[in-house]
Amino acid sequence: MSSLEVRLFGSRLSPFVEKVARALLLKKIDFVLVEPKSLRDFSQWNPQTGKMPVLELGDERIYDSTFILRKLDEVRPRPPLVASHPPIAASQRQLEDWSDESLYWYGMALRWSAGNAAASAAQIFGTLPPLVRPLARWFGGRRIRAATRAQGLGRLPEDVLLRELAHHLDDLVTILGEEPFFFAARPSLADLAIYGQLRVLCSGPTPDAGQLIAERPPLVQHGERVERETGGAAGNP
């Protein structure tokens, strides 16, 4: 593993790229982050779906954050990303899946609501070269908004989205309970997945969602614990 060049493709504004970056940091695997410079990069890096992250291990490329984390546990088993006790491991995997497939869409629907779309576009596409930035903001934003509407949450009013998100955050506080991490005393893929989603909600364009998280100290403290285990708030490789 130490002899392989490791490259992570994508922007850490993506909760899935952040999830993988934190897993690499947790396992102390050196990597280089390769960020997109145009919309064409996505299809070039991932011909299957055009989605990030993509992890390159030597001459092997792995797609999808869940599959990437499984691969990381194969190539560097310590520390493990799932518990050794099967019922706990099952709960961790289920929470990761819920985070990726449900919580994610609340974030996307809120980020691309009428009141937040301009700030989201500026954050996501503002790092692209000036010549491609206007087209990326128009095409990329339109595509993401269409995806949230097709999924369903993008059709709901923003106040309803915030109300339902608050209920889910309360559930996370209940699930976390007195443990430092979800279901365990050390971080797992569940913690990295939740951390990535909540970090995006606190990143600026969705201030109301960020406030909901700030009002729940156990979630704030959980995020701080994840950061301590994975290189700090910046999480630099």
d(CA 152, CA 34): 32
What distance in Å separates the CA atoms of residue 36 and residue 1, rounded to the nearest whole number?
25
Radius of gyration of the CA atoms of the chain, in A: 17
Using the Cα atoms of residue 227, residue 232, residue 234 and residue 237 in order, give the sign of their dihedral: negative
Residues 93 and 195 in one domain: yes
Question: Which of 75, 97, 115 is the last residue before a domain boundary?
Answer: 75
Note whether 10 and 95 are same-domain residues. Answer: no
Q: Output the domain CATH number for residue 16.
A: 3.40.30.10
Does position 123 have pLDDT exceeding 70, yes or no? yes
Q: Looking at the structure, do residues 69 and 95 belong to the same domain, yes or no?
A: no
pTM value is 0.92
96 and 139 in a single domain? The answer is: yes
Contact between 76 and 1 under an 8 Å Cβ cutoff? The reply is yes
Same domain, yes or no, for 90 and 206? yes
Q: Check residue 188 and give its pLDDT.
A: 98
Query: Quick check: is 20 in a domain?
Result: yes
**What average pLDDT does the chain have?**
91
The domain that holds 125 is classified in CATH as 1.20.1050.10
Query: What is the domain extent for residue 45?
Result: 6-75
Q: Which of 75, 98, 117 is the last residue of a domain?
A: 75
Write out pLDDT tens, residues 148-197: 999 999 999 999 999 999 999 999 999 999 999 999 999 999 999 999 99
Residue in 126, 121, 12, 109 with CA at minimum distance from that of residue 65 = 12
Please give the tally of structural domains in the chain.
2
Query: pLDDT of 104-118, one tens digit each?
Result: 999 999 999 989 988
Per-residue pLDDT band at 47 (split at 50, 70, 90): confident
pLDDT of residue 233: 83
Same domain? For 115 and 199 the reply is: yes
Judge contact between 44 and 52, C-beta under 8 A: no
